[in-house]
Amino acid sequence: MSSEGNYYVPEQSKLPIFCATAMGLMAFGAASWVIEGGDAKIFLVGLALMTVVMYKWWSLVIDENMQGLVSPQLKHSYVLGMLWFIFSEVMFFAAFFGALFYVRVLVNAWIGGEAAVALFDSTPTAAAAANNEILWPGYERQWPVMQTPDQAVNGDSAMFKGPDRSMSLPLWEYPVSQWLSKLYTLLPWLPLWNTVILLTSSFTVHLAHTGLKEGKRDVFLRYLGITVMLGFLFLCLQVAEYYEAYAHYGLTLKSGIYGTTFFMLTGFHGAHVTLGTAMLLIQFIRGLKGQFSSDDHFGFEAASWYWHFVDVVWLGLFLVVYIFG
């Protein structure tokens, strides 16, 4: 709620209209790019404009803050804005997680000729079986989908061919009795390392925050630096993982629904890690310039919230895509 006193109303600005122009160019450009025979020219022009606008815009906001123009009320508006933005990101991921769940639990059973969840799925067994016989004869319910319905029907001439190997927990390949002795198979399993890295980075960003609040600049910079490096390391490992998938696992975007959900979920997560790392890097540079004080550092706080969010998403991914993949 407002307190008494005057409101801060910023100067009129041309930035928004340039920003919108850039977005328009990028959208139009991206569409022309993906169409066969298209190119990226317009998109790149848009991107260049966007970079300039973003730079100017954030500088302006930072300047206003340095001049003390930003009232506590406006700061609170920034906080609300960031939190609701993160909420919208949660919903974006929810769409993809929901899609994964739907395909994996329901569709997979139905086209395989089975009831999905015996208790609730009242599709008569005969009807379910007919589903399979008429549409995709020979397809069996399975996850990960290693042999697509397309392959079940069309064999080698299929358009969607399942992968040779999946990304899931290596221990699943052995009976439970052997798990202990096979624990070493986890060592080269990248997702595990990525989990360790991200969890650690969430912790270090927290340490950076406490350091900042206590006014210890060196602690802040050290831990923030480590966090940025961990983020970067995560991305490198993910690139390595994708390379493995394409080169050795036969797992691509085109290998049916398993490849689709795997790459889309981890890919969007990776994009968010990239963004988060960039945000933290900018905060690091601002930290070097000494723009933060122990009680005024919202830019950093926002970036760290984002980072925690990205971390939580990863935990979800690790569970449903890798461990129970």
Per CB under 8 A, contacts with other proteins among 94-113 are 94-96, 98-99, 102-103, 107-108, 111
Examine residue 41 and tell whether it contacts other proteins (CB under 8 A).
no
Binding residues among 191-220 for other proteins as defined by CB under 8 A: none
d(CA 224, CA 203): 10
Structure tokens at 211: 């350091």
Is there a contact between 3 and 73 (Cβ–Cβ < 8 Å)? yes
Residues numbered 246-285 forming contacts with other proteins, rule: CB under 8 A: 252-254, 256-260, 263-264
Binding part of the chain for other proteins, among 92-100, 220-228, 283-291, 307-315 by CB under 8 A, reads 92-100
CB under 8 A: which stretch of 12-20, 168-176, 191-199, 275-283 binds other proteins? 12-20
| Calpha distance 220→289 (Å, rounded) | 13
Q: Using the Cα atoms of residue 316, residue 170, residue 198 and residue 234 in order, give the sign of their dihedral.
A: negative
Indicate the residue among 154 and 294 with the shorter CB distance to other proteins: 154
Closest approach of Cβ 27 to other proteins, in Å? 4
**Count of chain residues binding other proteins (CB under 8 A):** 77
Would you count residue 236 as binding other proteins (CB under 8 A)?
no
| Residues whose CB is less than 8 angstroms from the CB of residue 190 and which lie 6 or more positions away in sequence, other chains included | 237, 240, 241, 244
What secondary structure does DSSP assign to 159-198, as a single string?
SS---SS--S-GGGGS-GGGTTTTGGGGTT-HHHHHHHHH
Residue 125 found at the interface with other proteins (CB under 8 A): no
- Comparing CA positions, the residue from 276, 304, 305 lying closest to residue 83 is 305
87 touches other proteins (CB under 8 A):
yes
Pick the closer one to other proteins by CB: 28 or 243: 28
CA distance 43 to 37: 15
Name all contacts of 27-35 with Cβ < 8 Å and 24+ positions apart.
Answer: none
Q: Which of residues 126-155 bind other proteins (CB under 8 A)?
A: 135-136, 145, 148-150
| 34 near other proteins (CB under 8 A) | yes
Q: Looking at beta carbons only, is 81 or 215 nearer to other proteins?
A: 81
Query: Which one, 3 or 181, has the nearer CB to other proteins?
Result: 3
CB closer to other proteins, 158 vs 199:
158
The residues in 155-174 that bind other proteins, with binding defined as CB under 8 A, are 158-160
- The CB-of-39 to other proteins minimum distance in angstroms stands at 14
- The residue among 32 and 65 lying less far from other proteins, judged by its C-beta, is 32
Distance CA 252, CA 274 (A): 21
Residues 6+ apart with CB under 8 A from 166: 144, 146, 249, 251, 258, 325
